[in-house]
Amino acid sequence: MAIVAEPQQPDLREPAGWRRTSNRIATWLMVLAFVLVIIPLGFVLFTVIAKGVSIISWSFLTSGPIPPIVLPASVGGLGPAVLGTIEITALATVLAVPLGILGAVYLNEYGGKGPLARLIGFMADVMTGVPSIIMGLFIFAIWVLHFGYSGLAGALALGCLMLPVVIRSTDEMLKLVPDPLREASYALGATKARVTVTVVLPAAIGGIVSGALLAVARAAGETAPLIFTILGGTSVANTNVFKGANTALPLQIFSNATQPYTGAQARAWGAALALIAIAFILMIAARLVTARFTRYSR
């Protein structure tokens, strides 16, 4: 017969000592890391909004010309720079996004696992890490020296920045489109081009647009490529994006940031607020597009 010991209830409480302490410390450190991220972000946003909101107005954003730096912020406005940012970024988008999408189509639909596609995909990833200033120097060397400063040159530089980003994000979206969708289209006798354009791209369009918007947000805020390509000294709006020097919001911020005059600095804060607002709007738009239109993301 089995000897039954007195049943004692097991002690199921948490083991005390170093194990519990080290686990708690680790968790708090992780929380601290997040706090360390929030603090500078909060600071920057708070400062930009606080200092910029008094400058920002419709006339500030639309009227020109840009006054000399000594004048206070109430004189003139940054209209030429806003126009410059819009037209140059738009041109860059028109150049880079279609080319990027087509490049991603090659990678995903035609290239597959072949060596060339793998090389292109790998170098596209590498290219996203090329500093933006290099793109500026590149376009300077290859275009500006021959054709002069222009909004187009700036758009080329920004386009080079955007291209690999668009390729990569589009490629990710195309990968998510399930193969059965393609097969159904092939089975109806469609060519690869038709399948891609009529079935695959529409299925991925939400993610593609979202990725493109984020690329635009990044490009709109870039300064370094513009220094070497649009010159930036202009004070009046240049509506011809293909000819002649131009200016843009980031350049205005850059040149005004080092000025001792309060007017110049105020204009810089106003431009910074405008720039951040543009970037945020694009980011929110990207999220809305993702939420509303992606059907196949998991």
Footprint of other proteins on 18-77 (CB under 8 A): 19-20, 22-23, 26-27, 29-34, 36-38, 40-41, 43-45, 47-48
Q: Measured between alpha carbons, how far is 248 from 226 in angstroms, rounded to an integer?
A: 8
Near other proteins in 265-294, by CB under 8 A: 265, 268-269, 272, 275-276, 279-280, 283
CB of 237 to other proteins, least distance (A): 21
Provide, rounded to whole angstroms, the least separation between the CB of residue 174 and other proteins.
Answer: 11
Both structure tokens of 11: 């002690």
Question: Whole-number minimum distance, CB 178 to other proteins, in Å?
Answer: 18
- The region of 66-74, 104-112, 201-209, 235-243 touching other proteins under the rule CB under 8 A is 104-112
Residue with structure tokens 């668009």?
166
Q: Which of 53, 70, 94, 130 binds other proteins (CB under 8 A)?
A: 130
Q: Name the residue nearer to other proteins (CB basis): 192 or 293.
A: 192
Tell me, residue by residue from 190 to 229, as one string, x for binding to other proteins by CB under 8 A and - for no binding: xxxxx-xx-------------------xx-xxxxx--xx-
Q: How far is CA 31 from CA 20, 41, 45, in A?
A: 17, 16, 21
**In the set 89, 132, 234, 238, which binds other proteins (CB under 8 A)?**
132
Question: Which one of 2-10, 61-69, 70-78, 172-180 is the stretch in contact with other proteins (CB under 8 A)?
Answer: 2-10
Q: How far is the CB of 71 from other proteins (least distance, A)?
A: 19
Instruction: Give the one residue of 70, 75, 119, 291 binding other proteins; rule: CB under 8 A.
Output: 119
Count of residues touching other proteins (by CB under 8 A):
103
Given 86, 117, 176, 285, the residue binding other proteins (CB under 8 A): 117
Tokens of 153: 């040159």
Q: Please select the residue that binds other proteins; options are 72, 114, 131, 178, rule is CB under 8 A.
A: 131
Least separation in angstroms between CB 140 and other proteins: 8
Q: Report d(CA 247, CA 154) in Å as an integer.
A: 10
Contact call for residue 125 and other proteins (CB under 8 A) = yes
Tokens describing residue 253 = 């911020």
The one among 70, 94, 123, 291 contacting other proteins by CB under 8 A: 123
Among the residue ranges 64-72, 76-84, 201-209, 252-260, the one whose residues contact other proteins (CB under 8 A) = 252-260
Closest to other proteins by CB, 91 or 104: 104
Q: What is the 3-state secondary structure (H, E, C) of the chain?
A: CCCCCCCCCCCCCCCCCHHHHHHHHHHHHHHHHHHHHHHHHHHHHHHHHHHHCCCCCHHHHHCCCCCCCCCCCCCCCCHHHHHHHHHHHHHHHHHHHHHHHHHHHHHHHHHCCCHHHHHHHHHHHHHCCCCHHHHHHHHHHHHHHHHCCEHHHHHHHHHHHHHHHHHHHHHHHHHHCCHHHHHHHHHCCCCHHHHHHHHHHHHHHHHHHHHHHHHHHHHHCCCHHHHCCCECCCCCCCCCCCCECECCHHHHHHHHHCCCCHHHHHHHHHHHHHHHHHHHHHHHHHHHHHHHHCCCCC
